[in-house]
Structure 1
Amino acid sequence: NRLINRLNLEIQISRTELRNSGLTEPARRVADLLNIVLPDNASSYTLRDIIEALPKDSNAAWKLTSNAMSMMADMQATRRRWEELNTERKEAMSHAASLKKSSPFSSGFSRIPLMQWAAPEYRSEQGKIQSLSQQMEKLRQHYRKVEKQDIPASQTAFEKQWQQWGASGLAALRVQLLKREEELRRKEQEDTERSRAERRAEQLRKNDNAVMDSGVLSAVVTGYGEAPMPGNGEMTCYLLLHNRNGEYTLWGNELEKYRTRIFERVDLMRDRSGYICDRSEIGQHPPLQRVYSSATFEQLLTQVCQTWPQYTRNLRQPKTWPESFCLGEDRQPAMPSLAARKVDFTQGRLLPTLMPL
């Protein structure tokens, strides 16, 4: 047992030296004095708790030392033992009083001896009371000695030690712990961001559009964006969903309308045309847009100006043309929408001349 205890003590000392090995000598010395041990796998939050628990003055620092903790524990144990003996003495005194009342004449004639059967037990209780009183007195003297002599002496010696190198070592320890906490916080943030990016990349490698073929997908929208779609590599809108069964990634430009519904619950399914939409929108078709190239519009505008110059004299043409123009179902100009069904006329050709209707 002594060998095992010695080995455990050596292991504990080695771990303490290893954990505090990154500190400078003054900071390590104060950490050892105040029993401050930095865990090997300490997080930034653990270091923050240790920093906030550092003492503000010499009195608070002394309470963290092994000597102070030992004396405080000794005083608490002494007080608990004194209270236990006091309880036992009260019980003995109560029993002795009941034995004394066993004499029929004890109330009127106090000098009349006890009954013969009660005398031995009464003497035994009196001896027990005397012994308990002596033990309690020794405990009281020990308690007073620790409180009035040992603790003040220890505080005085510690105060001299603290003025010599303790205060400066504590300041150095605080600075080094703050620096280490900042480094750990930065590393933890980098790890979190890297893990989040890896998880997002792994999620974007999925294509769960097939799950829509089996019915309604009820989930919460957790993300939206545009990325190359798995399989064809085209830039496509994607939607990240989550429910009790797991996480899903849906692809489709018709999902653009869900970009503002992050953390909202949706019920998605396919309509007859194969588009992913909300269950309440089943039966509603996406709007139709006709897409024309800018060259077609430019050529058409030139023909209109040549055919009806009296009406287009003040017409201004744009300096730069977009790649394409869109017309809605009402044949009015419309903003391009990813959710709309598109009919491409960019390869069409105009007639050489215009015919008025």
Structure 2
Amino acid sequence: MVRKKDNYQILGVSRNATLDEIKKAYRKIAMRYHPDKNPGDKRAEERFKEASMAYQALTEFNPQHTGDQSSGRDTEGQGNGGFRRASDSDSKINDFFDGLFRAGPQTKRKTKARRTVRAKGSRGSNIRTGLTLPFTEAMLGTERSIRIHRNEECDSCNGTGAQKDSPESTCPNCMGNGEILDQLLRGNATENKLCERCRGTGVLIHRPCQTCHGAGATRKERSLLVKTPPGIESGKSLRLPGQGECGLRGGSYGDLFVDIVVKSHPVLQRDGYDLRCQVPVGFATATLGGEIHVPTLTDPIVLNLPRGTQPNQTFRLTGRGIKKSEDENGDLLVTIVIEIPTTLTRRQEQLLKRYIELEEKVLSQES
């Protein structure tokens, strides 16, 4: 039988210790030997790792503090050449501490993956801006140039934040991970926290770039062309990928969102893909028929009214509305509003009276 150091002895507690006593003892050791307080001290690192493994074995993986694992005894395996198979608990412990101390081939793969993510950097923030359009431009579709202010990758340091001749060093606080495990002093709770020392980059800059002062980005004004589709409505947003803020340390740019506001038209109103308008017409024109001018999204067109057009009668002008597709447009619906004059010349009044007399004569003959 091969014996190893007892987990209770490692933490300095008796075998009858309660869970609270085990936690208290572990915290005391962890506070003393934590790598953050002992940078570069391998003995402190090993002591911290040993205490943490013992604590994990006595609590999370063996809550009753019983069995060979918690006592520290190893038994000879049957048919395995004297070696025992690693249990699930051992595997979890090894994975846990490999992530913290970057030990072993499995952890090297994980660390490499994390460094690959960091090498790509973090994505930049999105930007929102507004664009107000006249009604006709919004319905027809248009292109507008807008100006925005955004953070762009510093040309002097290519976004690194450091002078070109200044080497970077791995952050000793998070050991290059960009995050620190904030779980060891809180019992069994686990939480990854952004490293405050390197701000999540995993590296330290010793000589900041003189242009961006270590930020990796500078503020610039840009002119961008925004293309709006036909029929866009107020409240809609257009997304321009990659036109937002620059990312951290070479990360991709965020997006630009353009919020649309459409002005109202003095005559035309939208109804889905159709347009509506009201056109005032004199009662004589409505009675006798004639040509009237109707506003559209482009130039006014002529509409021939038939004789006897009635008040609020609507005429449909096919294809004069908003574009639905490459081959189809909505319609323009024209409602006639007959205007009654409020003032008349003497001649007009005489003619109207004569008209009434003739109308009464016709009605009497018909009856």
The TM tier, using the shorter chain, reads: under 0.3
Q: Looking at both structures, which has the greater relative contact order when contacts are Cα pairs under 8 Å and sequence separation is at least 6?
A: 2
More helix by share: 1
Bigger Rg, which one: 1
With normalisation by structure 2, the TM-score equals 0.19
Greater fraction strand: 2
TM-score when scaled to structure 1? 0.19
